[in-house]
């Protein structure tokens, strides 16, 4: 017997409003599942079976979504590198006929699945209802049950939402499925524009259209604004633009405006401006007004990145003769040098968990690689080896790093786990892509 | 057949005859004139000759002036092209001006002093190594270093603006030391 509990979600994004129902799951399982330890890089991938959804009335749209939705769940979960989706050919059960609420667990454990996800889909007059369930096949228990109601276009959002629920249940945080990635893509000779894509590089959309060179995008904490450098007025100035709007606020016209980075959870950002003659780091409001100068030193000071609590800031300075990464305590103003290996260390990105900083280091002649170091300067590791690899940026849950690489020739966007495993290209666009940056937090 | 032969023969004699007559007539006219006014003609001839010489001299002077002007224009154009095409080069990750760079900048100063009305943009460029933001900062340091050197040479700061292109506009797209050396530069553009 399943009880339906109605809950209407409050969405910050105006265009989306599907409705979520939760099946009530027995109290001892819901929310009490032992979290799987993901801090172990040697962790074996969890085998999960995602059979096609059951089409409830059998119309052709339901049949399409039955296969498509199952594949999307597999892809989304596999993206994390925690899961391995089992081959459908090995399934012993025809899920389109079976009861999605009462699976034959033995048939799934025989297939090798630790977890099973079943779905049921109903399409009626452009409206879409999806029931999704997660089972532990060995404990033979329903762990999670959700029903989503909306329009056909909500399909992918429903699937991402359900996968986020799975992450929350199994790993203790919502993961990265509702995050986005901004990056730069060439759009013609001498033209570079800012693009935004889904967390997995899918559905890339161009968000600047000025036909100039646009660089170094960074999404605000709420995901609504993007700060970037643009040559639209002939030189590299800093702009802040609301996504969806073509109006961009110019921060300051004196000197250059580069390397913006938002303060976690605040409508403030830091960036390097050279209005006093050389690049120093300033704190700015979302409207582009200067709050104060936070790094004032002769020579180059750029690329700020804040700790998750906003109390410390990593940045790049040339004060020791070549670019190195430093950490400044925002309260006391004390500055400590973080990197000592190599003579060209740039682009720090503070992990959302707070304990590590990813950066770019010149390793071999002319080639940069992605490094990760503890905020205490210990535990330095090199994560990339092939081609030139730059611009590391952590996913909002700290489980992955997005970066650019020339390993296949031209510069493209790649992801890897926080440990450097499962490196692969994610954005499928013509031209060259660079400077990816993950949105600081999920939409919720 | 015989008739046609006759016509051809007749023509063979008649045409040269006609030609001969024409050339004789010209000669006759000339000698007649010479005989008619011998003394008057000498003075006139001298005057005409003088005028012709004067005209020639005047034209020669004009031509010389024109050539000179052209040469000056060519020279100015060459100087202008050199100003725009002779770049200041830098070492990797550096905005320091070595002796060669300083000599190039002295040439820039000389040209700017000779052309005080010109407004100049100094572009700072980097090689492809390193990150976008760092190279934007480094490119600016390079352009500013060149500008400061020229200000110290007495060029008014107001006649120069700087813009950093970072690694966005390489002159050589190669991925080797030769290309990188060419790309690490300050480039001068006349507004």
ipTM for this model: 0.86
State how far Cα A168 lies from the chain centre. 16
Mean of pLDDT values over A211-220: 96
State how far Cα A186 lies from the chain centre. 22
CB contact at 8 A, A116 and A54: no
Chain B residues touching residue A368 (CB < 8 angstroms): 129-131
Closest CA to A79 of A427, A439, A426, A435: A426
Token pair in block for residue A108:
């799934």
Instruction: Identify the pLDDT of residue A246.
Output: 82
Identify the bridge partners of residue A292 per DSSP, sorted by sequence position: A283
Q: Which of B93, B131, B136 sits opposite A390 (nearest CB)?
A: B131
Q: Which of B132, B163, B169 sits opposite A235 (nearest CB)?
A: B163
Instruction: Identify the pLDDT of residue B13.
Output: 54
Name the pLDDT band for A149 (thresholds 50, 70, 90).
very high
Token pair in block for residue A79:
């993206």
Identify the bridge partners of residue A414 per DSSP, sorted by sequence position: A403, A425
Cα–Cα distances in Å, from A150 out to A17, A119, A163, A275?
7, 16, 17, 51
**Strands of the sheet with A280-285, listed across from one edge:** A257-262, A268-273, A280-285, A290-295
Spatial distance between the Cα atoms of A403 and A406, rounded to a whole number of angstroms? 10
Chain B residues touching residue A322 (CB < 8 angstroms): 93
Q: Which of A274, A302, A368 sits opposite B133 (nearest CB)?
A: A302
Taking only the tens place, the pLDDT of each residue in B126-151 is 999 989 999 999 999 999 999 999 99
State how far Cα A204 lies from the chain centre. 14
State whether the Cα torsion A418-A423-A428-A432 is positive or negative.
Answer: positive
Q: How far away is chain A from the Cα of B98, in angstroms, using its nearest Cα?
A: 17
Name the pLDDT band for A28 (thresholds 50, 70, 90).
very low
| Cβ of residue B138 closer than 8 Å to a chain A Cβ | yes
Residue B14: pLDDT above 80? no
Instruction: Identify the pLDDT of residue A26.
Output: 45
Taking only the tens place, the pLDDT of each residue in A377-434 is 999 999 999 999 999 999 999 999 999 999 999 999 999 999 999 999 999 899 999 9
The SS3 of residue A412 is: strand
A296's CB contacts (< 8 A; 6+ apart) are: A276, A280
For B18, list phi and psi in degrees, rounded to 5.
-60, -45
- CB contact under 8 Å between A323 and B93, yes or no, is yes
Q: How far away is chain B from the Cα of A234, in angstroms, using its nearest Cα?
A: 8
For A124, list phi and psi in degrees, rounded to 5.
-145, 110
Spatial distance between the Cα atoms of A209 and A248, rounded to a whole number of angstroms? 11
Which of A75-79, B35-39, B162-166 is the least confident region? Answer: B35-39
Token pair in block for residue B83:
């100003």
Helix axes B38-85, B2-36, angle to 10 degrees: 100
Mean of pLDDT values over A280-304: 95
Residue A4: pLDDT above 90? no
pTM of this structure: 0.84
| Cβ of residue B80 closer than 8 Å to a chain A Cβ | no
Instruction: Identify the pLDDT of residue B27.
Output: 47
Residue A39: pLDDT above 90? no
Spatial distance between the Cα atoms of A305 and A260, rounded to a whole number of angstroms? 9
- CB contact under 8 Å between A323 and B134, yes or no, is yes
Residue A34: pLDDT above 80? no
State whether the Cα torsion A106-A112-A115-A118 is positive or negative.
Answer: negative
Instruction: Identify the pLDDT of residue A15.
Output: 38
* Best residue in B133, B162, B163, B189 for a mutation probing chain A (most A CBs within 10 Å): B133
| Cβ of residue B5 closer than 8 Å to a chain A Cβ | no
Name the pLDDT band for B3 (thresholds 50, 70, 90).
low
B191's CB contacts (< 8 A; 6+ apart) are: B118, B119, B120, B121
Spatial distance between the Cα atoms of A137 and A93, rounded to a whole number of angstroms? 14
Identify the bridge partners of residue A5 per DSSP, sorted by sequence position: A22
Quickly tell me which residue has 């404990």 as its tokens: A139
Helix, strand counts (H, E) of chain A: 3, 32
Taking only the tens place, the pLDDT of each residue in B51-64 is 999 999 999 999 99
């Amino acid at each position: 017997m399943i009880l339906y509990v109605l809950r209407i979600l409050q969405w910050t994004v105006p265009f989306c409003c599907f409705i979520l129902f939760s099946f009530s799951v027995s109290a001892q399982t819901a929310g009490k599942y032992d979290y799987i330890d993901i801090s172990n890089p040697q962790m074996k991938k969890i085998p999960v079976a995602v059979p096609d959804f059951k089409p409830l009335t059998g119309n052709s749209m339901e049949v399409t979504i039955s296969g498509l939705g199952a594949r999307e769940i597999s892809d989304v979960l596999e993206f994390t590198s925690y899961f391995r989706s089992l081959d459908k050919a090995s399934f012993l059960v025809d899920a389109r006929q079976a009861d999605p609420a009462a699976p034959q667990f033995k048939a799934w454990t025989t297939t090798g699945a630790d977890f099973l996800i079943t779905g049921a889909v109903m399409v009626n007059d452009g409206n879409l209802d999806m029931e999704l369930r997660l089972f532990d096949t060995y404990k033979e228990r329903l762990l999670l049950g959700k029903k989503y109601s909306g329009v056909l276009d909500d399909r992918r959002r429903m699937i991402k939402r359900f996968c986020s629920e799975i992450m929350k249940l199994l790993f203790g945080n919502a993961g990265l499925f509702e995050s986005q990635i901004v990056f730069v893509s060439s759009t013609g000779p001498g033209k570079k524009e800012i693009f935004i894509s889904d967390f997995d590089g899918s559905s890339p959309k161009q968000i600047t259209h000025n036909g100039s060179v646009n660089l170094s995008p960074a999404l605000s904490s709420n995901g609504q604004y993007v700060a970037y450098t643009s040559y639209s007025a002939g030189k590299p100035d800093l702009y802040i633009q609301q996504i969806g709007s073509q109006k961009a606020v110019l921060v300051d016209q004196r000197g250059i405006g580069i390397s913006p980075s938002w303060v976690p959870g605040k409508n403030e950002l830091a960036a390097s401006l050279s209005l006093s003659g050389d690049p120093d780091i300033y704190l700015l409001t979302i409207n582009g007004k200067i709050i104060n100068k936070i790094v004032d030193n002769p020579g180059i000071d750029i690329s700020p990145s804040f700790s998750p609590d906003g109390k410390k800031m990593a940045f790049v300075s040339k004060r020791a003769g070549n670019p190195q990464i430093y950490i400044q305590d925002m309260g006391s103003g004390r500055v400590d040098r973080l990197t000592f290996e190599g003579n060209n260390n740039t682009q720090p990105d503070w992990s959302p968990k707070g304990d590590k900083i990813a950066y770019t280091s010149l390793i071999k002649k002319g080639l940069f690689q992605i490094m990760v170091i503890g905020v205490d300067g210990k535990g330095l590791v090199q994560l990339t080896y092939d081609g030139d690899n730059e611009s590391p940026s952590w996913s909002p849950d700290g489980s992955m790093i997005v970066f650019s690489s020339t390993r296949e020739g031209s510069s493209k966007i790649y992801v890897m786990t926080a440990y450097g495993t499962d490196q692969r290209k994610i954005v499928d666009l013509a031209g060259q892509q660079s400077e990816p940056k993950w949105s600081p937090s999920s939409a919720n | 057949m015989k008739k046609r032969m006759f016509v051809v023969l007749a023509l063979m004699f008649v045409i040269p005859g006609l030609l001969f007559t024409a050339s004789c007539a010209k000669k006759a006219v000339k000698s007649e004139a010479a005989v008619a006014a011998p003394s008057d003609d000498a003075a006139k001839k001298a005057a005409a000759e003088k005028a012709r010489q004067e005209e020639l001299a005047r034209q020669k002077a004009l031509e010389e002036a024109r050539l000179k002007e052209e040469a000056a224009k060519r020279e100015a154009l060459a100087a202008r092209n050199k100003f725009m095409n002779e770049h200041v080069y830098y070492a990797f990750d550096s905005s320091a001006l070595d002796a060669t760079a300083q000599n190039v900048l002295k040439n820039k100063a000389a040209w700017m002093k000779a052309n005080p009305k010109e407004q100049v943009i100094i572009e700072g460029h980097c090689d492809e190594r390193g990150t976008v933001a760092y190279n934007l900062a480094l490119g600016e340091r390079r352009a500013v270093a060149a500008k400061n050197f020229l200000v110290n040479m007495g060029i008014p700061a107001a006649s120069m603006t700087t813009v950093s292109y970072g690694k966005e506009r390489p002159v050589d797209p190669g991925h080797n030391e030769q290309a990188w050396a060419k790309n690490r530069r300050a480039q001068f553009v006349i507004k």
